[in-house]
Amino acid sequence: MTKQEWQDCLEWISSQHPAPGYLILSGSLPKGVNDDFYAKAARRAHKLGTRVILDTTGDPLSLALETGVFLIKPNLGELKRLFDSDIEEESAWHAFAEERIRQGQSRVVVVSLGAGGAVVFQKEGYQHLRAPAVSVKSRVGAGDSMVGGMILALARGWPVLEAARFGVAAGAAAVMTPGTELCRREDTEALYERTRSDG
């Protein structure tokens, strides 16, 4: 992207009226875009009263966290790259999540554990949400489906924990589909009901 193109993206965010409830900043940045792009986008969203969902890693994640966001969804691999160290010890990534919340960098931290589900951290504490066992056809798009499921549920007014549970179901539903196909609504809803009944 050219400088003018990514600056136009920032201007577009500021021009949204009425303000959207959520802005999702996801993925690696294109060549030509500065690492602080997500941080700049988050600042503009804050001025609108829009909640920012951040799903990225490395410097773009670190810089945006300095601005503060509503929710981040790292997985263990992304945390390992962020710290350039072994963070697979549970105590290490628990400490990372709790510190982000304590410092006001993110109100919610959802650490994705793949087939292990996710751990949802809020100021009140944390809870492990287990993923339903499914037949795996492709893991492509599982993380994006998880984020999409969470935001859909949040936009419906669901509590954070139930929204994360729906996101876990959406991620599990995505691995049931072949190739690059994402989650299906009927699969997601069925898996969500199963996880609710399983507790």
Residues classed as catalytic: 144
CB 44 within 8 A of CB 14: yes
Q: Which is nearest to 175 in space by CA: 121, 119, 112?
A: 112
**b vs e for 14-38, b when ≥16 Cβ sit within 10 Å of the residue's Cβ?**
eeeeeeeebbbbeeebeeebeebbb
Q: Is 155 left (phi over 0), alpha (psi -120 to 50) or beta?
A: alpha
